[in-house]
Structure 1
Amino acid sequence: MDTEHVLRTFVEYYEDQGHRRITGSTLLPEPGDPVLFTSAGMHPLTPYLEGRPHPLGRRLVNVQRCLRTTDLDEVGDSTHLTVFEMLGTWSLGDYEGSRSLDWAHRLLTEGLGVDPGLLHATVYGGGEQVGPDTESLRLWQERGVPVERTVDDNWWSNGPVGPCGPDSEIFLWSGDTPPRSTPTGDDRWVEVWNHVMMRHRRLDDGRLVPLPQRNVDTGLGLERLAMLLQGKSSVFECDVFEPWRRLLPVLWPLDEPSFRVVCDHLRSAVVIVGDGVRPSNTGRGYVLRRLVRRLLTVLWRDDPSRGLGDLPDELITHTLDHFRQDGDPGLPGLVRRLLVEEERRFRRLLDRGRNVLARPRFRGPLGEEDFHYLHDTHGLPRELVTSLREGEYPETEGVGAVRS
Structure 2
Amino acid sequence: MDTERIVRTFVEYYEELGHRRISGSTLLPPPGDTVLFTTSGMHPITPYLEGRPHPLGRRLVNVQRCLRTTDLDEVGDSTHLTVFEMLGTWSLGDYGGSRSLDWGYRLLTEGLGVDPGLLHATVYGGGDQVGPDTASLRRWQEHGVPVELTVEDNWWSNGPVGPCGPDSEIFLWTGDTPPRSTPTRDERWVEVWNHVMMHHRRLDDGRLVPLPQRNVDTGLGLERLASLLQGKSSVFECDVFEPWRRVVPSLWPLDEPSLRLVHDHLRSAVVVVGDGVLPASTGRGYVLRRLVRRVLTVLWRDDPSRSLGDLPDELVSHTLDRFRQEGDPGHVRRLLVEEEDRFGRLMERGRKVLARLRFRGPLGDDDFHYLHDTHGLPRDLVMRLREE
Q: TM-score by structure 2 length? A: 0.99
Counterpart in the other structure of 1:372: 369
1:346 aligned partner, one-letter code = F
Q: Give the RMSD, CA atoms, in angstroms.
A: 0.7
2:254 corresponds to which residue? 254
Distance in structure 2 (CA, Å) of the matches to 1:26 and 1:340: 24
**In structure 2, what is the equivalent of residue 86 of structure 1?**
86
Shift, 1:11, TM fit: 0.2
Report matched runs for 1:1-400 at 5 Å.
1-326=1-326, 328=327, 331-391=328-388
SS for the counterpart of 1:156 is strand
1:73-117 deviation digits (Å, cap 9, x = unpaired): 110000000000000000000000000000000000000110000
Q: Give the counterpart letter for 1:372 in structure 2.
A: H
Shift of 1:211: 0.3
SS of 1:142's equivalent in the other structure is helix
Q: 1:298 deviation in Å?
A: 1.1
Please tell me the residue identity of whatever aligns with 2:283: G
3-state DSSP of counterpart to 2:121: strand
User: How many residues are matched?
Assistant: 388
Q: Take 1:174 and 1:191, find their aligned partners in 2: how far apart are those partners?
A: 10
Q: CA deviation at 1:386?
A: 1.5
Q: CA deviation at 1:390?
A: 2.1
Q: Distance in 2 between matches of 1:346 and 1:19?
A: 47
Q: Give the whole-Å Cα distance in 2 for the aligned partners of 1:19 and 1:122.
A: 26
SS of equivalent to 1:220: strand
SS class of match (2:63): strand
Deviation at 1:40, TM superposition (A): 0.4
Deviations 1:342-393 (CA, angstroms, capped at 9, x unpaired): 11111111100010011111111112211111111100111111121122xx
1:394 is aligned to: none
Return the letter of the residue paired with 1:378. H
In 2, Cα distance between the equivalents of 1:132 and 1:372?
49
Q: Offset at 1:276?
A: 0.4
For normalisation by structure 1, the TM-score amounts to 0.95
Q: Once the 2 structures are TM-superposed, how far is the Cα of residue 243 of structure 1 from its aligned partner?
A: 0.4
How far apart, in 1, do the equivalents of 2:143 and 2:67 lie?
A: 34
Instruction: For structure 2, list consecutive stretches of 5 or more residues without a partner in the other structure.
Output: none
Comparing 277-286 with 248-257, which one deviates more in the overlay? 248-257
User: Matches of 1:126 and 1:198 in 2, distance apart?
Assistant: 15
* 2:61 aligned counterpart, secondary structure: strand
DSSP 3-state at the match of 1:244: helix
Deviating 4+ runs (over 6 angstroms)? none
Describe the SS at the equivalent of 2:254. coil
Q: Distance in 2 between matches of 1:178 and 1:300?
A: 44
Counterpart of 1:174, as a letter, is T
Which secondary structure state, in structure 1, belongs to the residue aligned with residue 336 of structure 2? helix
Q: Deviations over 1:195-218 (max 9, x none)?
A: 000000001111100000000000
Of all paired residues, the percent bearing the same amino acid is 86
